[in-house]
Amino acid sequence: VDHQKADWVSIHEQICQLLIPIRTSLPFLLSEEARKHGMEQLVKRQKYIIDLAYSTAQEFVLDGKHEEAIPAALHALRFSTEVYGSNSVQLVPAYLLLAEASTGVGRLPEASKYLSQAQWIVLRTPGCSAAVQYKLHRSLGLFCAAEGDFEQALYHLANDIYLASSTFGLKSIETSGGYFHMANVFFRQNKMDIANSLYAEV
């Protein structure tokens, strides 16, 4: 009951009506053209649900409501898997969101599992964009910081900053996020001079 309530509050109320046409199978005696059109509509609906579930989960994470984010992020992952396949780089954002939400509620083994999946997909995708890779390194950095492994956190955040700045530029919002998280790690290490100069950079 608790899981159902959490799922309803998180995302289900928004997507409930959208799920009906997706779960209804196409009539068998349709022409080839009608069947093709039906499949295109199905994929369009699934992509809409992916976007809605992902943005809802992201809002919850930004609001610090990590528990509420998990059901929405799971829906985003499930529909992404249906549309793109289980090894697609399109699944990485949902895995990273699940890792962040799981870390936020203190479920580090779960977060580690999601990060491993994301990392495995990125490693298996030749020419994976820097835009995806910087997000992976940021998530790995935040996870290591949550575990208290500050050296490893700084390594991943340095990669995050390098990849984000090479894609979006040194003065971009994307890059400033990496500086901010790195400053937080130095702050936790009591290296206030470095932390303050990074905060100033942000």
DSSP letter for each residue of the chain: -HHHHHHIIIIIHHHHHHHHHHHSPPPTT--HHHHHHHHHHHHHHHHHHHHHHHHHHHHHHHTT-HHHHHHHHHHHHHHHHHHH-TT-GGGHHHHHHHHHHHHHTT-HHHHHHHHHHHHHHHHTSTT--HHHHHHHHHHHHHHHHHHT-HHHHHHHHHHHHHHHHHHH-TTSHHHHHHHHHHHHHHHHTT-HHHHHHHHHH-
pLDDT at 31: 75
Cα–Cα dist 40/165, whole Å = 37
Tens-digit pLDDT profile for residues 126-178: 889 999 999 999 999 999 999 999 999 999 999 999 999 999 998 999 999 99
Within its chain, how far is the Cα of 97 from the centroid? Answer: 3
**How does residue 45 score in pLDDT terms, banded at 50, 70 and 90?**
confident
pLDDT at 40: 84
Q: Is the pLDDT of residue 29 over 60?
A: no
Which residue range is the domain that position 10 belongs to?
1-128
pLDDT at 33: 79
Residue 179's contacts (CB-CB under 8 Å, 6 or more residues apart) are: 161, 198, 201, 202
Residues 92 and 162 in one domain: no
Residues 6 and 88 in one domain: yes
Given 90, 105, 128, the domain boundary residue is 128
Cα–Cα dist 32/96, whole Å = 39
**How does residue 42 score in pLDDT terms, banded at 50, 70 and 90?**
confident
Residues 153 and 105 in one domain: no
Residues 26 and 90 in one domain: yes
Residue 145's contacts (CB-CB under 8 Å, 6 or more residues apart) are: 153, 181, 184, 185, 188
pLDDT at 149: 95
Residues 107 and 143 in one domain: no
Two tokens at 119?
Answer: 């990392």
pLDDT at 17: 55
Given 128, 156, 189, the domain boundary residue is 128
For the ranges 11-25, 115-129, 163-177, which has the lowest average pLDDT?
Answer: 11-25
Residue 202 burial (C-beta neighbours within 10 Å; 0-12, 13-18, 19+): middle
Residue 201's contacts (CB-CB under 8 Å, 6 or more residues apart) are: 176, 179
pLDDT above 90 as % of the chain: 69
Q: What is the pTM of this model?
A: 0.82
Residues 87 and 39 in one domain: yes
- Domain count within the chain: 2
For the ranges 6-10, 20-24, 98-102, 177-181, which has the lowest average pLDDT?
Answer: 6-10
pLDDT above 70 as % of the chain: 85
